[in-house]
Amino acid sequence: MATLPERLTNLDPSLRAFIESSDFPPLGTVPAPPPLPAGRVLAHNNIQHAPQFTQGFNGFRFWYQDPNYPGSPPLRPCTCGFAPDHPVHYQVARE
């Protein structure tokens, strides 16, 4: 469960709910090996990236998301080569 800094008081409520419901590994890390916590999926943002990117590099972010949590962004399966230890991962679906 992510904890938001006090200064982030003007976030859209659905974005706040998503962030608070997700687990964001620290900067510079790679995804934890499978299995993920029950009910979570590995997801990343749409920043252009290479499979070797770590958390935060060039704006690349990944997290462990409960896809059914209200306010969670829509996801689609991704085949970019990131996190090869995981049988499947997702990226945020662009509208």
Chain residues binding Zn ion by CB under 5 A are 78, 80, 82
Shortest approach of Zn ion to residue 65 CB, angstroms? 13
Closest CB to Zn ion among 4 and 93? 93
The SS3 assignment for 77 reads strand
Shortest approach of Zn ion to residue 13 CB, angstroms? 28
Closest CB to Zn ion among 17 and 75? 75
Q: Which residues pair with 90 in a beta bridge?
A: 43, 77
**Sheet hosting strand 62-65, strand order edge to edge:** 62-65, 41-44, 89-92, 75-78
Shortest approach of Zn ion to residue 78 CB, angstroms? 3
Closest CB to Zn ion among 8 and 88? 88
Query: Which residues, 6 or more positions from 17, have their beta carbon under 8 angstroms from its beta carbon?
Result: 69, 70, 71
